[in-house]
Structure 1
Amino acid sequence: MIYTHLEVTEVAGDIFDFCCNMTEEQDARARALIERAAAKWPLRILHALSDAGAPLRFSRLMERIEGISQKVLTQTLRTLESDGLIIRTLYPEIPPRVEYELTPLGRDLLMQVVTLWRWIVERLDEFDSRKAVKLTATDN
């Protein structure tokens, strides 16, 4: 059971069993990956690559991701590549051409996140109403 100040939620006993079998190192690595993926830009980049349906050049990504700087896009692409979520292909041409595309792992991550994203969006009113109740309670 999970206890919160408002309710008790029953959770199937084995749903978190995999956590009990993780080492501290595995837990730290998993948390780091979650933090990197949930940062401001990675999911937007993965979505842009998925939406394109084909590899994209750096400049095309810049056009599709409003508000991102060249420096941040470069850093984020490097991180996504090192995590195995995208592939960077360099074509030996003059000038050199570089394209980025999702890996199967990147596509799978994006599909998992979409499920969570949809769950959150479908409950935004509930989140907002709880926040409003909390704010009202603190005003008194």
Structure 2
Amino acid sequence: MSPRPRSNKHRGLPENLYAQVKGGQTYYRYRHPITSKYHGMGKDKREAVRAARILNARLYSEPSAESLVARIETPSMSYRDYVDHFLNDVVPQRLNRRGKSLSPRPSRSTGGTWHSVLSAGDHAL
């Protein structure tokens, strides 16, 4: 299913670039396709169109083969290492509702869930 066509006032503009009229002036703004936040691009249509095309090219470009190879070659953290990092570095810094640090011991209700998580093995994330 194809997307609906752009409205007439936005038809000549590149994707994710929109014109907005305020006080008789036309302002251009770019909508980030991932975060959906708008960023002002000024009043100059030519500069806004040029910047939007550059941004679209960067955001929609295919990942290069080099970055895929680098991602495979870099060692990933094992599940056990991640849980150790979480328990030793993250949990002590977090606070509960009363402003006290979280307990590193498993609660009675979990029944030692952390031990079963740690015994899951050294699987890569």
The two structures have a TM-score, normalised by structure 2, of 0.26
TM-score by length of 1: 0.24
Greater helix share, 1 or 2? 1
